[in-house]
Amino acid sequence: GNSVTQMEGPVTLSEEAFLTINCTYTATGYPSLFWYVQYPGEGLQLLLKATKADDKGSNKGFEATYRKETTSFHLEKGSVQVSDSAVYFCALEGSGNTGKLIFGQGTTLQVKP
């Protein structure tokens, strides 16, 4: 079945450091891929998405490229801020347009000033 694997956290970085959070997936067909973020005390919200191979999703300085050959969707940001401290979830939506999301276990990011 479909599944998502994320790197384990927590990840602790200093402000302005480069961020990578790894995400790989297993899926049949052509899934859509997402990163959702949960800031402290808030609900899950979409950060970015990509719907086909080689697409790059971007938002708020974050980027992720849909790599079908490596079944990956790694999240990157060139310079993190304290306000980026949150839990990040990689997710996929399988083919069939159900909208059903399969999430990874989440990666906690803590950015220190």
Partner 1 sequence: DTGVSQDPRHKITKRGQNVTFRCDPISEHNRLYWYRQTLGQGPEFLTYFQNEAQLEKSRLLSDRFSAERPKGSFSTLEIQRTEQGDSAMYLCASSTGQGADEQYFGPGTRLTVT
Where on the chain is the footprint of partner 1 (CB under 8 A)? 4, 32, 36, 42-46, 49, 51, 89, 91, 93, 97-106
- β-pairing, 86-93 with 62-65? unpaired
Min dist. Cβ of residue 109 to partner 1 (A): 15
User: Closest separation between CB of residue 78 and partner 1, Å?
Assistant: 24
CA distance 113 to 97: 42
Please give the single-letter amino acid code of residue 55. Answer: D
Minimum distance from residue 46 beta carbon to partner 1 (Å): 4
57, with CB counted inside 10 A (0-12, 13-18, 19+), is: buried
Q: Which is nearer to partner 1, 9 or 85 (CB)?
A: 9
Cross-strand pairs, 89: 36
Whose Cβ is closer to partner 1: residue 41's or residue 113's? 41
